[in-house]
């Protein structure tokens, strides 16, 4: 509101300046014209005394006395020029241009309407016009002979010097207008920046409120879920002890999956926390391969092939191992990172699930591992439909999802966990060309125990 008011005030000030300039120019021009017309009428009435009638003038003949008299009149009235023309539009006298006396002047054509009006007996005045650095205006009055007929026209011309000052004022006003436009542009830019900043702060406050609500919801969910999980784990252990040696090996998966689910619940419980849980030195490739193995059945059901990208073993390492071909997979351990096993497992579970679910008609997911600039890098590339640029900007926002049954928390949790481990996650995607998710961590020493 204040910005609009400031812009309005500046606009009104500039418009008012131009209106004042226009009114002043018109008033001064009218006053000058009226003064010149009065002088012309007075001189025409004394034409006999000034020897300006056609009876006393012949083209090309100016007496010295008449010239002195007219020059005195011109100087006394501070005129620019004084001239008389006959009905053939020839100069009978011309104080500023004696060389034109007795001949026509093309410049008279500009005031032809006013001159003809004076020949009809009606005084007239020209518009203000500019000649070089001067602003000139001319008034015309009829000169009558002894019989009362209009035989010539008297022209009285003056230099409106005050219009030069008005021209300076006009230039100053133009400068003020330019500065005003710059001020308006600056106000608009600053206001837009402030509005954008306010919007960002509002969004940040909204995200903070969302995280707080998520924390409360997660606490309630964790309370309701953890107790049944503990009961399921205890029941599985009792069944295993009761069956003893005949217990099927699959029963061991129950406590493991219960622990994993408990970890996931704890992870969502701490969704607003920026630090990892208990960390250890992990072979990130082995961890991701384990997630791939767990998801193989789901991938096969969707017709999606999970592949590991051809490894890029450095040449020095191949020479040391005596290999000439790195082979389709990298059998060596690493790269290693320092992190929480369950949290990082959740990261790649979410990423791989997204890659599988985005290809309901089947496709391929390729997972690659490597080390770049001292960082452990995992890339997950799918052959799905890709992601639109507008959607890509928001994929890490909490509760933002394009899935019908999605929670909008998967990639948000991925980003939170990765950044809590000092890493970075980036997504590259283009509609129709698939999506690549790259996760980078600060790498640990890649030598495994017992290796030199």
Domain ranges for the chain: 2-160, 276-311+331-442
Q: What is the structure's pLDDT at 219?
A: 65
User: Which of the residue ranges 36-50, 51-65, 148-162, 423-437 has the most confident prediction, judged by mean pLDDT?
Assistant: 423-437
What's the pLDDT tens digit per position in 49-104? 666 655 555 554 556 666 777 788 888 888 888 888 888 888 878 887 655 555 55
Residues paired with 170 in a beta bridge: none
Q: What is the structure's pLDDT at 254?
A: 83
What DSSP string describes 192-253?
Answer: HHHHHHHHHHHHHHHHHHHHHHHHHHHHHHHHHHHHHHHHHHHHHHHHHHHHGGGS-GGGGH
- Average model confidence (pLDDT) across the chain: 78
Report which of 393, 400, 376 is spatially closest to residue 428, judged by C-alpha positions.
393
Domain covering 2-160: architecture: 2-Layer Sandwich (3.30)
Return the CATH class of domain 276-311+331-442.
alpha beta
Residue 204 to residue 194: CA distance in whole angstroms: 15
Report which of 338, 348, 341, 342 is spatially closest to residue 410, judged by C-alpha positions.
348
3-state SS assignment for residue 136: strand
What's the pLDDT tens digit per position in 323-351? 444 444 445 677 889 998 888 988 998 89
pTM attached to this predicted model = 0.46
Give the mean pLDDT of 244-252. Answer: 78
Do 2-160 and 276-311+331-442 show the same overall fold?
Answer: no
Q: What is the structure's pLDDT at 142?
A: 92
Q: What is the structure's pLDDT at 103?
A: 54
- Which alpha helices (H) appear in 244-283, and where do they start and end? 253-269
- 452 pLDDT tier (thresholds 50, 70, 90): very low
């Amino acid at each position: 509101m204040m910005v609009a008011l400031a812009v309005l005030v500046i606009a009104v000030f500039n418009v008012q300046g131009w209106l004042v300039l226009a009114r002043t120019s018109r008033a001064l021009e009218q006053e000058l014209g009226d003064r010149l017309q009065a002088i012309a009428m007075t001189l025409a009435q004394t034409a006999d005394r000034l020897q300006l009638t056609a009876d006393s003038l012949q083209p090309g003949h100016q007496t010295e006395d008449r010239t002195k008299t007219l020059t005195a009149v011109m100087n006394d009235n501070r005129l620019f020029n004084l001239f008389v023309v006959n009905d053939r539009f020839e100069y009978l006298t011309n104080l500023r241009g004696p060389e034109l006396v007795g001949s026509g002047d093309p410049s008279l054509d500009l005031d032809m309407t006013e001159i003809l009006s004076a020949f009809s007996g009606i005084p007239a005045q020209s518009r203000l016009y500019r000649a070089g650095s001067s602003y000139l205006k001319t008034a015309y009055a009829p000169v009558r002979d002894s019989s009362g007929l209009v035989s010539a026209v008297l022209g009285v011309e003056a230099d409106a010097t005050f219009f030069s000052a008005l021209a300076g004022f006009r230039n100053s006003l133009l400068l003020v207008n330019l500065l005003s436009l710059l001020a308006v542009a600056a106000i608009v830019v600053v206001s837009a920046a402030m509005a954008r900043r306010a919007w960002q702060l509002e969004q940040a406050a909204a995200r903070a409120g969302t995280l707080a609500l998520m924390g409360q919801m997660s606490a309630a969910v964790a309370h309701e879920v953890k107790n049944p999980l503990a009961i399921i784990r205890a029941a599985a252990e009792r069944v295993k002890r009761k069956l003893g040696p005949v217990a099927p090996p699959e029963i061991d998966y129950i406590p493991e999956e219960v622990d994993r689910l408990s970890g996931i619940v704890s992870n969502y419980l701490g969704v607003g926390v920026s630090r990892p849980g208990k960390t250890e030195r992990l072979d990130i490739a082995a961890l991701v391969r384990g997630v791939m193995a767990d998801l193989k059945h789901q991938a096969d059901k969707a017709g999606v092939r999970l592949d590991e990208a051809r490894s890029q073993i450095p040449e020095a390492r191949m020479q040391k191992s005596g290999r000439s071909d790195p082979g389709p997979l990298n059998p060596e351990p690493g790269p290693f990172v320092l992190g929480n096993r369950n949290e990082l497992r959740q990261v790649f579970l979410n990423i791989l699930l997204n890659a599988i679910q985005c290809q309901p008609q089947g496709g391929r997911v390729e997972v690659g591992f490597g080390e770049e600039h001292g960082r452990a890098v995992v890339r997950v590339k799918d052959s799905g439909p890709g992601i639109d640029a507008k959607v890509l900007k928001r994929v890490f926002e909490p509760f933002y999802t394009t899935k019908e049954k999605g929670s909008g928390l998967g990639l948000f949790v991925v980003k939170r966990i990765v950044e809590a481990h000092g890493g970075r996650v980036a997504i590259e995607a283009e509609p129709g060309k698939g999506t690549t998710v790259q996760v980078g961590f600060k790498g640990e020493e890649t030598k495994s125990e017992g290796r030199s």
